[in-house]
Structure 1
Amino acid sequence: MKRARNYNRWPQLLGSLLIFAALMAPGCQSLHTLEKSSTDNRWICPEYADLPLRQGRFEEAIEKHLQVISQEPENGLAHYHLGYAYGQIGLHPDEIAQYLRAMDLGMERGDLYYNLGMSYMQLEEYLRAEQSFLRAVEIEPDCGENHRGLGLAYFNQGHYHEAIVSCRRATTLEPDDADSWHCLALAAAKSDEIGESWNAVKELRKVDPDYMLDPFLLQIFPAEGSSPPPTDPHDAREPRDPR
């Protein structure tokens, strides 16, 4: 189950916007199957509800999960899946409400807190996003995408040093993730750490030679704008699988 691409945005420097898609880093993907990521087995969702979610039929998935919840109002997994489906069609306040309900019912999963953080990022509620990512890091400290999400939340609040620390950790855990290198390059550039920013750009190019840099970085490293951008330059990040 993957969110629609171009799901999230994070402010681009100099007043414009940079597309920021909801993400799922390859290094954590295997952790988030139903069997491996759930901290308990108190809840299940029937196949008739989860099948349309997996197939991207989100309106139907919402209808089916509402049916499940009407019969099992304390099914935390159903609330999580319902929130995820709401997010796919842009209903982010409803998405957040369902995630919080799942948490109230006792669900404690790193991917749940990560997706909550990404939802807050979409609404530009960066402090709440930071708090959600911090909890995701506590639950899954070795998952690079949690640190990257935290770095982005710091970045959008202007806390560039903290963003650098988080993005460094993300690149250490998942060195093949171009988005983490890009976040590190931006945060370092904003902190006038041009050497570290350039090193991050070079590592990013090793991972993805065609990654289109933020215009702020292109002002500093204009030669890096010569690579042709992909069709959607920030279509590289996908969300955490809530199954």
Structure 2
Amino acid sequence: MRTRNMLLPLMMLALLSLVACKQQTVVVQQPVGPTPMEYFNTGLSYYNNGQYVPAAEQFEFAVSLMPGMVDAHYYRGMCYMQLNQILRAEEAFKMALRYNPNHLLTREALGLLYFNSGNYLAAKAELEAARALNSVSPVVYYCLGRLYMQERNCKEAILAFDKALRLNPGYAEASAELARAKAMCGGGVKKPSQPPVREEKSFKGGAKALDPSEF
């Protein structure tokens, strides 16, 4: 009986030790490392100091943890633009627009990227989208004006250059292009129509009248 009484406390102690061990096995370790926002803020600090390589790396870390972080994709693209890595910049901007098609800064940046790369059709689409989002970048309207001039769309070109100058009255390139557009297009004002010229198709003497259908 005495031996039994001595074993009982030992059994209770062993049971408590087992419970303690089981409790230790369910402890979850908290993840260690910067958050996506911390990566983003570090990248932004590098970017503002002109350190585009480490900045891009931080933005890459941010989007790897949070793929929908639109601003990180945008700045990632801006870094690659500065590093002249055009395809990577395009990919980053497109990813930003995938998550937010109305991200104005990305529309502007992608439009200018296409414009500077000579992809004018794509540039026009992006810059017109930026204009629809109420862009206040004079460069956007300047580039649109240049594109409209290529199409000989006088009215839209003059409106675009005028908008660029209203946003930045000292924009010398826009001022020069506006003057050129007005000179080429007659100020964008439709001239009064002239009476039609009667074309003679029969010989009246002196020379044969020109027939437009022959050209």
Asked whether the two chains share a fold, i.e. TM above 0.5, the reply is yes
Counterpart CA distance in 2 for 1:184 and 1:92 is 30
**Residue 97 (str. 1) matches residue 96 (str. 2):** no
Of the candidates 74, 80, 103, which is equivalent to residue 74 of structure 2?
Answer: 80
What residue is the counterpart of 1:155 in the other structure? 149
Gaps of 5+ in 2: 1-35, 188-215
Shift of 1:161: 4.3
Rounded to whole Å, the distance in 2 between the matches of 1:91 and 1:186 is 34
1:125 deviates by: 0.8
CA distance in 1, matches of 2:104, 2:70: 15
The 1:137/1:105 distance shift into structure 2, 3 A limit, reads same
From 55, 59, 69, the equivalent of 2:53 is 59
The one-letter amino acid of 1:58's match is: Y
Q: Give the direction of change, closer, same or farther, for the CA distance of 1:175–1:105 in structure 2 (3 Å limit).
A: same
Tell me which residue corresponds to 2:121. 127
Point out the more displaced range, 89-98 or 157-166. Answer: 157-166
- For 1:137 and 1:56, locate their aligned partners in 2 and report how far apart those are by CA, in whole Å: 28
Cα separation, 2, equivalents of 1:115 and 1:155: 21
| Alpha-carbon spacing, 1:103–1:142, altered in 2? closer, same or farther (3 Å) | same
Aligned to 1:140: 134
CA contact (8 A) 1:126 1:156 kept: no
Aligned residues of 2:76 and 2:92 also touching (Cα < 8 A): yes
Of 47-56 and 161-170, deviating more is 161-170
Equivalent residue for 1:109? 103
**TM-score (ref. length: structure 2):** 0.62
Instruction: Measure how far apart 1:111 and its partner are.
Output: 2.4
Distance 1:47 1:100 in 2: 22
Relative contact order, higher structure (CA 8 A, sep 6+): 1
| Aligned amino acid, residue 136 of structure 1 | A
SS in 2 for 1:121: helix
Deviation at 1:190, TM superposition (A): 4.1
Q: Which amino acid aligns with 1:128?
A: A
CA distances 1:80-134 after superposition (whole Å, capped 9, x unpaired): 1100100001112221221111011015233221111100011101111111111
Structure 1 gaps of 5+ residues are 1-42, 194-243
Structure with a larger share of its residues in helix: 2
Against the structure 1 CA distance between its residues 90 and 143, is the aligned structure 2 distance closer, same or farther, given a 3 Å change threshold? closer
Instruction: Report the residue type matching 1:73 in the other structure.
Output: P
SS at match of 1:108: coil
State the partner residue of 1:182: 176
TM-score if structure 1 supplies the norm length? 0.55
Instruction: Give the whole-Å Cα distance in 2 for the aligned partners of 1:120 and 1:76.
Output: 20
Q: Is the 8 A contact 1:86 1:92 kept in 2?
A: yes
How many matched pairs? 152
Aligned mates of 1:170, 1:84 — CA distance in 2? 23
Q: Identity percentage over the alignment? A: 22
2:19 corresponding residue in structure 1: none
Task: Report SS of the residue matched to 1:140.
Answer: coil
Higher Rg of the two aligned structures:
2
CA RMSD of aligned residues (A): 2.5
For residue 174 of structure 2, what is the amino acid of its counterpart? S
